[in-house]
Amino acid sequence: NAGVTQTPKFRILKIGQSMTLQCTQDMNHNYMYWYRQDPGMGLKLIYYSVGAGITDKGEVPNGYNVSRSTTEDFPLRLELAAPSQTSVYFCASSRDRAGETQYFGPGTRLLVL
Amino acid sequence: RKEVEQDPGPFNVPEGATVAFNCTYSNSASQSFFWYRQDCRKEPKLLMSVYSSGNEDGRFTAQLNRASQYISLLIRDSKLSDSATYLCVVQGGKLIFGQGTELSVKP
């Protein structure tokens, strides 16, 4: 099993550009999550999904969108990049309820200039 | 008050030392508790869950005090490879991550 994979590893965007961060898991997990981590800070939940076709907002959803058309994939979309979105983005998955162990992808480092 | 608050770091300790990290949480209805480890520029990985009775995994001991809303992690006989950031994580609906405490173990 590859676990949770994310692409790209690193990206530089100009203000106002759009991009999609890809996340795929091969563990047949129902729950998937997107977090951002700013330097010296904890992870903040952006969006999560409890299964295909179901998504919900987390703590910091503004400026982002998600979709969950399959169990495996959970892409995160940035429509109009802003410098405040410079961060490291982690995708994670867990088998069932949110209290289960979460498995994280390697992260995407995003710089918005 | 932050939902999950950890000791500010960094902790710099010599090899072989015992080090303890503390974490407090604000939601008394929280149900599950974890310690995750995050190496520099890498993803967090589960270190251990924290049970009400306390639990041990080798050199690592985790304690939970529900009355005081407090979690701790004790590392005995520190190794160089223990150098990382330790994240306290609390589940009360969703997982809430603390900001992390950095540990640096020196030779």
Q: Which tens digits make up the pLDDT trace of A30-41? A: 999 999 999 878
Q: How far apart are CA A14 and CA A3, in angstroms?
A: 31
The angle formed by the CA atoms of residues A49, A52 and A56, to the nearest 5 degrees, is 25
What the block records as the tokens of B53 is 């009775």
* C-beta of residue A59 within 8 angstroms of C-beta of residue A84: no
Nearest to A20 by CA among A75, A97, A91: A75
Residues B42, A99: C-beta atoms closer than 8 Å: no
What pLDDT, in 10s, does the model give residues B41-92?
899 999 999 988 889 999 999 999 999 999 999 999 999 999 999 999 998 7
Alpha-carbon distances, residue A52 vs A5, A20, A49, A56, A70 (angstroms): 18, 18, 7, 12, 5
**pLDDT at position A98:** 62
Residues A98, B91: C-beta atoms closer than 8 Å: yes
Residues B43, A107: C-beta atoms closer than 8 Å: yes
* C-beta of residue B106 within 8 angstroms of C-beta of residue B16: no
Q: Which residues of A touch B42 (CB under 8 A)?
A: 106-107
**Contacts of A93-97 spanning 24+ positions with Cβ under 8 A:** A93/A4, A93/A25, A93/A27, A93/A29, A93/A31, A93/A32, A93/A33, A94/A29, A94/A30, A94/A31, A94/A33, A95/A27, A95/A29, A95/A30, A95/A31, A96/A30, A96/A31, A97/A31
pLDDT value at B93 more than 80: no
Residue numbers of chain A with a pLDDT score lower than 50: none
Shortest distance, CA A48 to any CA of chain B (angstroms): 10
Residues A42, B99: C-beta atoms closer than 8 Å: yes
Q: What is the mean pLDDT of chain B?
A: 93
Q: How far apart are CA A88 and CA A43, in angstroms?
A: 9
Q: Count the Cβ atoms, other than its own, within 10 Å of residue A7.
A: 13
Q: How far apart are CA B29 and CA A4, in angstroms?
A: 30
